[in-house]
Amino acid sequence: MSAPEPVSSIRNLGPAVEAACARAGIHSSEALRRLGPDAAYTMLIASGTPPHFIGFYAMVMGLQGRPWNDCHGDEKAALRARFDKIKSAAQASLSKEKGRTPMDAALDEIGVIPKRSGV
């Protein structure tokens, strides 16, 4: 039995994404493919990876075997809408877990309110 292929064996995904996936509990390219980009990116955000559209975009393209910059127009706009939905849901979930309102989380994210101790 051969060892599972690493996450970095997927086009566009390098060692940094592989490390972030490992922190999120995704330890192979097969596991990432099985989850799909939306669920996997949700797990990355939940494990502390800051959400970034290009990271999501590169993952989606890589899982399709395409270069990271091979998407334009309506397809890219649809990816952005998916990313925004994933990011919003993940951040709302994290805020709920920490006992903060979504507004508190947004203000905290941009540095307007001081971080609460123990949060």
Return the amino acid letter for 110: I
30-83 pLDDT, tens digit per residue, is 999 999 999 999 999 988 899 999 999 999 999 999 999 999 999 999 999 999
Report in angstroms the alpha-carbon separations of 110 from 51, 106, 115: 14, 7, 11
Structural domains in the chain, CATH included, are 7-109 (1.10.150.20)
The pTM assigned to this predicted structure is 0.78
